[in-house]
Structure 1
Amino acid sequence: MTTWWPWARLAAAALTAAAIIAQLIRTLERTLAASDPWTAHVPTVIANFFSFFTILSNVGAVVALAIGGVWMLRHTTGSVPQWLATLLLCVSTYMIVTGIVYNVLLRGIALDQGSTVWWSNEVLHVVTPLFLLADVLFAPRPRALSWSSLWIVAAFPIVWVVYTLIRANFIIGPATGDPWWYPYPFLNPHHVPGGYLGVAGYVVGIAVAIIAVAAAVLWIGRRRAASVVPTVEDAALSGP
């Protein structure tokens, strides 16, 4: 497994990057063909595209998997460095949560097939999350991280929610012309029962899910690392 796992990581990174690019191209094609000023404003549409938690998480997955694959090819022995293990912990958590949230809350929502690349949608919401889950369970040379790493995992989602809720009311919805734009319906206080209180309920629920998934990923890494008996050479090369 050690010989082919880095190549699997690199292949997953390439597939995920292709899916992001394909969806971005489709989005820009629709934008350039639009006539309404709010729909045809390219900078806003691009900013909206990269404001989705799914897209940001998948971009992170591309970076982490590419770095992780190259690192494994260059270092055939030794423990995974702490910074890379932490990066993989964060990205794995975000992608697993993305897969859960999409398939539980958003799978039944009809998509505009004219603006959605179907295979890209499946890669970003199903294939890559499943690969990151497999990476957590089976990737060679797992490394135990401290439980304090959970704070690092929580930092990005908190910043993203604050950014999203502040920015939303300064953006005209490209598809609707509404004087607001939210990347996901469960964050939209104009549609969620209870307004901002209802949104807060969803945010708390997803925050609990993120921490729970992060704790599970962290526990698995610690458990797998504890079952590996390092060689003298691995101990010398492990480093921080």
Structure 2
Amino acid sequence: MEKSRTGEFTGYRTTAQRERDQRFKDIALGVLEDSGPNWSIHALSVMKRNTIARVIYYHDLYQRCLSVPGVICEFGVHWGAGLSTLLNLRSLLEPYNHSRHIVGFDTFEGFADTHAKDGEAQAGDYSSRADFASSLAEILAYHESIAPFPEVRKHSLIQGNVVDTVPVWLEENPHASIALAIFDMDIYAPTKITLERILDRMPKGSVLVFDEFNCPFFPGETQAVQDVLGIRNLRLQRHPLQTYCAFCEL
């Protein structure tokens, strides 16, 4: 299993497949550059199958929490694809619910540290650009600006290690109930510690999501779920369009 320059696992692709992917990326960037003011619509021509699958998956997750009061938390934001999708889904599925605050947590420096239970994952894997938090803040602000009630800030981006930032966030937001919690940190310690800290804020019917459950490349996430909740105590389900994702309603 090879890694990219940011430490991301590149899957089982052959050299020929990676070359085709690079050529397709070059074409896609050209489309974005040349297609004018409606570039985001024309970008659908270069949207890959797995991207469409991911959007459908997030749509299905979001629908599960519509009747549950509370905020949405994504632990592990990376380049912001999930967080941006959640903001736009809120605009589509519950445009007048301005209490549905969406909160993203990330170091933007990759894994802060790893545990013996994390297999081959290493500190620094899955990093983004050093200055990316500010770029993502601008991206999210744009999505908010074209949503209903744009004058009401309905998202937060919290940079740092969740071991340090989640307790502060919980203390500063004593009113916050969590309707949907998406765990995409991949590794053992931050997943375990964050799970332990937020469960008391999750009512019956709220949704827990694990992005690398039953994943041989990131064994720490499954072990964190086992150590905190016990797998036998959960009715975990998988989504037909995602390989390693699992979710459950509490």
What's the TM-score once normalised by structure 1's chain length? 0.27
Q: Which structure carries more helix by proportion?
A: 1
Q: Which structure carries more strand by proportion?
A: 2
Return the structure number with greater relative CO, CA threshold 8 A, min gap 6.
1
What's the TM-score once normalised by structure 2's chain length? 0.26
The structure with more radius of gyration: 1
